Structure 1
Amino acid sequence: MTQTPMIRMSGVEKAFGSKTVLRGVDLEVAKGESLVIIGGSGTGKSVTLKCVLGIIHPDAGEIEIGGAPATRRNREALLSRFGMLFQGGALFDSMTVWENVAFRMRHGHGRLPRAQAREIAIEKLRRVGLTPETADLFPAELSGGMQKRVGLARAIATNPEIIFFDEPTTGLDPIMAGVINDLIRELVTEMGATAMTITHDMTSVRAIADRVAMIHEGKIRWQGDVEEMDRTDDPYVDQFIHGKAEGPIAAIR
């Protein structure tokens, strides 16, 4: 019997005024799988992610999480199953590091006492390679790499079933980007979580992905195992992953 996908998108469409962004996205992510979505700027990667998160509501099509329809009515319940690493970290400047990590534990459904939330936050910081002394600092006192680690600790703080990563290595030097990629892969595997990532960074793709999907002009152009990506004869994928100036993507711009 085929296992129900953790995430399923069927015929998802979205337009903003006269601009159509998604033109019928069909995509499935199995439980415990790490899917990375690639594609050029403006092709619909972020909108796809936001539709799954419920931040944006599609104009047509269906989205299911764990076999259940994702609707406005059950959005709050679904959000409790999600973790999110935002592009740039998106930490609250006025909160200490541990308060950032514990934000959902302190302000969400079933909020925890301050002392307990702090203890869990420190453990999650340790898990991403940060010391307890980091907990009482403010984000402005941290390097970019450390801020990204804090964002990752916050993403895993509630042991979510599904984690979303939005350009996880943006703004990092190659060495720190490699560290973050390795951490993401290790944590997702350790937790048994389902992961959906959007990125332009092909090094991240190869480090994080089990499967890859390329979106182009609002549709999934190609998808397959990460090992198949470099072997595919799809000209759009070949041009994108190798950064070629000439090819079908450049021709239609």
Structure 2
Amino acid sequence: MITLTDVHKAFGSNRVLRGVNLTIPSGESMVIIGGSGTGKSVLLKCILGLVHADTGSITLDGEDVETASRDTFLARFGMLFQGGALFDSLPVWQNVAFRLLRGSLKRPKDEARAIAIEKLRRVGLKPETADLFPAELSGGMQKRVGLARAIAAEPEIIFFDEPTTGLDPIMAGVINQLIREIVTEMGATAMTITHDMSSVRAIADRVAMLHDGVIQWTGPVTEMDATADPYVQQFIHGRAEGPIEAVR
């Protein structure tokens, strides 16, 4: 579904991506791990076309993302943002149906509201939640609303940016389970960025580790614990000693 070939991106003298090669198969869940500041978010933004790679190619179903029609291209994606990114001034149902109320995916208002309520139900929220505002929700409920919004337009590809940040372990487990179920039900291709190893184990079909601007290791999640790669072993076990230098 998504192929990155020798992708480079620098900001001034800071070379963030230094030749990323990665394939995300259709219908699979890929989780990108790596330390803070290693370029995971930049990689995601390059795929979306929000940041333009300096060199290399990124293709979606064989089509170069740089030349794709933006509206058609972005309509294929859903996104769960790290901080939720809900619009404070809009009620929950309008947050969920945001893409269905405007642009190429626009639906009649009543239909958009009905879809929003159905997606809220799918993530475990009651219909009466639809008319509340984000400030009236707990952190876990806000994350569920963000997930409902990500799937409202039935996207082929869903990105999850640190989906469990700020949640207690129980709610994090609930969100991980929801993501796994929904991605499987929809047959969607998923890409997740996370530091949370419990999320990795719950969500991933495959794992890729980004370090020093390149994919250091990639493979099935079932092989992650057994790999001899010292970078992966240090990261997944949280060891202070190893090839990855801690920023002090």
TM-score by length of structure 1 reads 0.96
Q: CA RMSD in A?
A: 1.1
Q: Give the total of aligned pairs.
A: 248
Distance 1:125 1:161, change over 3 A: same
Correspondence for 1:154: 149
Q: Which runs of 5+ in 2 are unaligned?
A: none
**Alignment partners' CA distance in 2, 1:235 and 1:48:** 23
1:37 aligns with 2:32: yes
Match of 2:17 among 13, 18, 22: 22
4+ long deviations beyond 6 Å: none
User: Which residue of the partner structure matches residue 113 of structure 1?
Assistant: 108
Is this contact kept in 2: 1:54–1:72, CA < 8 A? no
Q: Does 1:213 align with 2:203?
A: no
Give the equivalent residue in structure 1 for 2:137: 142
How much has 1:251 moved relative to structure 2?
7.2
Q: Distance in 2 between matches of 1:93 and 1:212?
A: 34
Cα pair 1:7 1:29 within 8 Å, conserved:
yes
Is the Cα–Cα contact under 8 Å of residues 240 and 246 in structure 2 kept in the other structure?
no
Distance across 2 between alignment mates of 1:63 and 1:37:
16
The code of the aligned residue for 1:12 comes to V
Distance 1:251-1:173 versus aligned 2 partners, 3 A rule = closer
Partner secondary structure for residue 58 of structure 1: coil
State the 1:108 CA deviation.
2.3
Q: Deviations over 1:105-162 (max 9, x none)?
A: 0022141111110000000000000000000000000000000000000000000000
- Is contact 1:122–1:135 with CA below 8 Å preserved after alignment? yes
| Equivalent-residue separation in structure 1 for 2:21 and 2:239 (angstroms) | 27
Partner of 1:58: 53
**2:12, 2:66 → 1: CA distance?**
22
Q: Which moved more, 1:103-112 or 1:83-92?
A: 103-112
Aligned counterparts, 1:1-253, within 5 A: 6-250=1-245
* Displacement of 1:212: 0.1
**Structure 1 gap ranges (5+):** 1-5
